[in-house]
Amino acid sequence: MAKKPLIPGRGLDAILGNIDVETLNGNESDVTASIGMVPICDIETNPFQPRKEFDSTALEELAQSIREQGVITPITVRRMPDGKYQLIAGERRYRASQMAGLTELPAYIRIATDGQMMEMALVENIQRENLNAMEIALSYNALIEECQLTHEQLSQRVGKDRSTITNYLRLLNLPAETQLALSSGQISMAHARALINVEDPEEHLAILHDIINRHLSVHQTEQLVKAGKAEKKPRTVLKDELPSTHSAAQSQMRQMLGSDVEIKRSRRGKGTMTIHFNNDEDFERIMKLLHP
């Protein structure tokens, strides 16, 4: 009998490789994948699931479809040491099947590491459910940290340009309020990318509130950010005032050496003393005065 490919789509296959389905025979130690019906009560959700919220209306619609037609596409799970199964992909189908009253689900049973679990959950969600920008950024960051991937390696795993990966990861540097606005859809990723360039916290939040309250376009936001930068003036660096003892010593050194002497001191008492000279002969003259 001809074997069928386990998972349609190159995303998960790219992570685990091209593996054929093998009939479940109770001995999974020698196989990489199998297929069978799994009791819903034995399935645990994926701790690496990037998506944190599921639309209740969409789930109910899927549940109604499952009541009428059943589960067309199997979920993907891995067997745990305690005999339970952990979801790799298909949490929407799993939740909707619970709502539909099913007691078991068709499932591809894979052997996968935690790193592969995380990668597959991310790829499956990006391809099927369109995570919001912050969920993608957090997932990319988790993959980099947990699987010790470089930006280039991550780019190859998820099929995205390296620059795209970097742009998502930069979102993690945004203030919490801006991240929340992005997650909730109040601003777009393009808005957020414009705001990344505003480092002043007060100015940043002021522009964020303008975007939300005035429904600013991305172009208007970019113009607002540019205008703010143009209005900024170079800050005047205030020198720490020298204590009277240091000021007096500076004057005495100048008189004694016949040269300009500059003393700088921080508020914590740390500082430098600089003696200026005009040429080599002047340098030798000063050295003789310091070391007679």
DSSP-based three-state secondary structure for 42: helix
pLDDT in tens, the chain (292 residues): 443 333 333 344 444 443 333 333 344 433 345 778 899 999 988 776 666 667 788 888 898 999 988 888 888 888 888 888 888 878 889 999 999 999 999 988 887 676 676 667 666 666 555 678 888 888 788 777 767 778 888 888 777 888 888 999 999 999 999 999 998 889 999 999 999 989 888 899 999 999 999 999 999 999 988 887 766 555 444 455 788 888 888 888 888 888 888 888 887 788 888 988 888 888 888 888 888 7
CA angle 7-32-138, nearest 5°? Answer: 60
The residues annotated with a catalytic role in the active site are: 91
Place of tokens 């189908």: 93
> In degrees, to the nearest 5, what angle opens at C-alpha 13 toward C-alphas 8 and 14?
135
What are the residues whose beta carbons fall under 8 Å from the beta carbon of 61, sequence distance 6 or more? none
pLDDT given at position 118: 67
Element at 102 (helix H, strand E): none
pLDDT of residue 187: 94
C-alpha span between 256 and 261 (Å, rounded): 10
Question: In b/e form, how buried is each residue of 181-204, taking b as 16+ CB within 10 angstroms?
Answer: bbbeeebbbebbbbbeebeeeebb
Residue with tokens 């508020």: 267
- Which burial class, exposed, middle or buried, applies to 6 when counting CB atoms under 10 A from its CB (0-12, 13-18, 19+)? buried
Query: Are 228 and 198 a contacting pair, CB within 8 Å?
Result: yes
**286: amino acid identity, one letter:** I
Q: Which pLDDT score is estimated for 129?
A: 55
Give φ, ψ of 6 to 5 degrees. -70, -50
Q: Please name each of the domains of the chain with its CATH number.
A: 10-115 (3.90.1530.30), 244-290 (no CATH)
Quick one: tokens of 266?
């921080």
pLDDT of residue 260: 87
